[in-house]
Amino acid sequence: MRSCEVSSLPRKMFAHLLKEVIRAGICTACGACVSACFVNSITIADDTPKLAGPCLRCGFCYNSCPQTGGDEIYGMLFGESKPGPLGVFTKAYKARAVDPVIRERGQDGGVVTALLKYALEEKVLDAVIVAGTSREEPWRPFAKVALTAKEVIDAAGTKYTPPYMASAIWDAVYCYGAEKVGVVGTPCVVRGVRRMQHSPESALKLGSRVKLVVGLFCMESFDYSKLAKLLEESSVSLSEVTKFDIKKGKFIAYRGSEEVFSRPVSEMKEYVRGSCKACTDFTSELADISVGSVGTKAGFSTVLVRTEVGSRLFARAVEAGCIEAVELGKLTSVEKLAEMKKSKHGGH
């Protein structure tokens, strides 16, 4: 059993999370509530967080959820309110991995993979939460703890359905004894992790072990079951797909170098998760470093360095010859999509 003092003060707990977030259809599948529960009472069943044991009414799950807080975390991280569509960042780069194997295995130049590999090898981190894929259900992602460079490389590539990434933070800390954990995720995962780190009534002890948060650009993610059915109806088996990508407004599935499925993203709305329809963050504004393909040519990624932690690590990886990077000036296409998401989903 996870040990922690439980306050006697009335506070919102799993029942409120169930009503306000899960049943309301806005659960992001980030997994923060699973890690936050110190008695292991929250689990994922039927792709939904469920109570599988006693609730001690600590409120950690509720206060770690990315859907239950305001913008106070932004001020805690950056000391200011959000300026502009991309949030706070100090520098922007066009970048890719130097290692051709990582460039091939990773997404859009393999920057994230190269950065995490470097962080593990240099002992900046001792564990990284990455998205693996199920053997039983091809391309169904799940959060896993990577302790070696090989495990990071094996998990490379974007998955377009959510894998409850933050749920593995508890495993990294309490099963593997990790002191310095890195997490990679979409904006909702990043927000959940930041709430675990900074919200007064959340799992602060666990959140304090997270030393790096890498955010991914994300317009929306898809429901796994619906996506699998769509491909099946198009005579494409998930087991034969080797890569997914979104390029020039199209969602594409590949078998090797062959394109086996393509559909305009604008025609994929019925397959999008409900929580995505209320999200206004395109570039993972609360991350230490944000990475995405928009704004650079094929084979490269746009990198936004936001915090001192992110700046130091990225500079070290470039200096060590793991990543090649060129500073960017205008970010017109990135800003355009970020503004579009904010406007479309009720932002400023």
CATH number of residue 249's parent domain = 3.10.450.750
pLDDT per position as a tens digit, 319-333: 999 999 999 989 999
- Whether residue 108 sits in one domain with residue 177: yes
* Mean pLDDT, residues 202-213 taken together: 92
> What value does the mean pLDDT take over residues 275-295?
93
Q: What is the mean pLDDT of residues 44-54?
A: 92
| CATH number, domain with residue 48 | 3.30.70.20
Whether 60 and 186 map to the same domain: the answer is no
pLDDT digits 0-9 by tens, 170-189: 999 999 999 999 999 999 99
Query: Are 198 and 338 members of one domain?
Result: yes
Q: Are residues 93 and 165 in the same domain?
A: yes
For residue 106, what pLDDT is reported?
85
In a domain, residue 108? The reply is yes
Asked if pLDDT for residue 157 goes beyond 90, the answer is: no
Instruction: Mark which of 44, 64, 84 sits at the end of a domain.
Output: 64
pTM listed for this prediction:
0.89
pLDDT at 71: 78
Q: Are residues 115 and 199 in the same domain?
A: yes
Do the domain assignments include residue 7?
Answer: no
Q: pLDDT, tens digit, for every residue of 217-233? A: 998 888 888 888 999 99
Could you tell me which of 215, 248, 181 has the C-alpha nearest to residue 77?
Answer: 215
Q: Judge whether 1 lies within some domain.
A: no
Residues 242 and 283 in one domain: no
Q: Kindly state the tokens that stand for 337.
A: 């999509």
Residue 323 lies in a domain: yes
Average pLDDT, the chain: 90
Instruction: Judge if 177 and 199 occupy the same domain.
Output: yes
Residue 4 lies in a domain: no
With beta carbons less than 8 A apart as the criterion, state whether 58 and 4 touch: yes
Does the structure show a pLDDT above 90 at 113?
yes
In a domain, 9, yes or no: no
pLDDT at 9: 44
| Same domain (yes/no): 102, 169 | yes
On the question of pLDDT at 4 being above 60, the answer is no
What pLDDT, on the 0 to 100 scale, is given for residue 201? Answer: 82
For the segment 246-274, what is each residue's pLDDT rounded down to a tens digit? Answer: 888 889 999 888 999 999 988 988 888 88
pLDDT at 2 over 70: no
Q: Are 311 and 168 within one domain? A: yes
Number of structural domains the chain divides into: 3
Its domain, for residue 335, covers 72-221+272-344
Please tell me which of 38-52, 118-132, 133-147, 200-214 the model is most confident about, judged by mean pLDDT: 118-132
Domain identity same for 150 and 299: yes
pLDDT of the residue at 348: 42
Q: Phi/psi at 92 (nearest 5 deg)?
A: -125, 140
Same structural domain, 241 and 128: no
Q: In the prediction, which pLDDT does 225 show?
A: 86
Does residue 284 belong to any structural domain of this protein? yes
Highest mean pLDDT among 50-54, 236-240, 342-346: 50-54
pLDDT band at 81 (very low <50, low <70, confident <90, very high): low
SS3 track for the chain: CCCCCCCCCCCCCHHHHHHHHHCCCCCCCCCHHHHHCCCCCEEEECCEEEECCCCCCCCHHHHHCCCCCCCHHHHHHHCCCCCCCCCCCCEEEEEEECCHHHHHHCCCCCHHHHHHHHHHHCCCCCEEEEEEECCCCCCCEEEEEECCHHHHHHCCCCCCCCCCHHHHHHHHHHHCCCCCEEEEECHHHHHHHHHHHHCCCCCHHHHCCEEEEEEECCCCCECHHHHHHHHHHCCCCHHHCCEEEEECCEEEEEECCEEEEEEEHHHCHHHECHHHHHCCCCCCCCCCEEEECCCCCCCCEEEEECCHHHHHHHHHHHHCCCEEEEECCCCHHHHHHHHHHHHHCCCC
Same domain (yes/no): 212, 185: yes
Q: Is residue 2 domain-resident? A: no
Amino acid at 72: E
Q: Return the exposure string of 317-327: e unless at least 16 CB atoms fall within 10 Å of the residue's CB, then b.
A: bbeeebbbbee
